[in-house]
Structure formats: structure tokens, C-alpha cells
Amino acid sequence: MFCTRCGIELRNEDKFCSQCGCPAGGAFSTPLRAERLTRPMQEAKLAGVCAGFARYFGVDVTLVRIVWCAISIWPLPLFGVVAYIVAWIVMPKDPLPLSAPNVQPANGGAH
């Protein structure tokens, strides 16, 4: 597969061209952010804010947590803490997946 903008050869697993940054498969073939910014509670350490941002931007959650901690102490002390609390309040939780209800036979299971 080749980039439609610069012509460099791409691997099949590439999502973007490493030379020009164009999305693989055409200039506007897929939306970059298709899902909403929500807090996945299954992946949460504290409130799921970092996990939600990591999933939204498509990066590793550990990287987001490290950057968030760095922002909390530098350049403005406590800016990251206040931003985390605001994101915690504003970001909705992921909807919980519904499990199949336990349905028992009408005759109690005896045959």
C-alpha cells in the first residue's frame, strides 16, 4: 500500500503515513475520533479520567498518567489536580454492558 499524498510505501498495519501524516487509505477515509470522551470504569485506577483520555487519543494509559502527574506539579502547581477534578465531574461514565438475565424454566428445571 502506498500513501496517496507523498507516495511512500506503507505497511498494512500502518494507520498514518510516517512521512507526511496522511491517514492510510486516503486523505479523509476514516474519522480520527469516532467515539465520545467517557470514563471507562473497568480500566480506572481512581476515576477513569486518564483511561478515558488515553482511549480517546489512542495512546497508552501509562503515558497519559505520567503526563498528568507532571502537569500537576509543573508549570502551575495543582493545575493538573484541578483539571482532573473538573474532568471527573464533566466526563460521563461508560454505559455498563447489560448482562443476560437469569431465566429459569417455568417448571423449575425438572423434566
Could you tell me which residue, 103 or 42, shows the higher pLDDT? 42
Distance CA 39, CA 91 (A): 6
Could you tell me which residue, 12 or 27, shows the higher pLDDT? 12
Categorize the per-residue pLDDT at 15 as very low, low, confident or very high, splitting at 50, 70 and 90.
confident
- Arithmetic mean of pLDDT, 69-84: 90
Distance CA 98, CA 107 (A): 26
For 27, 50, 60, 68, the CA distances from 40, given in Å and listed in that order, are: 31, 9, 14, 17
Q: What is the pLDDT of residue 60?
A: 93
**pLDDT tops 60 at residue 57:** yes
Written as nine digits, the cell of 93 is 461514565
Written as nine digits, the cell of 70 is 507532571
- Please indicate, yes or no, whether the overall pTM of this predicted structure exceeds 0.85: no
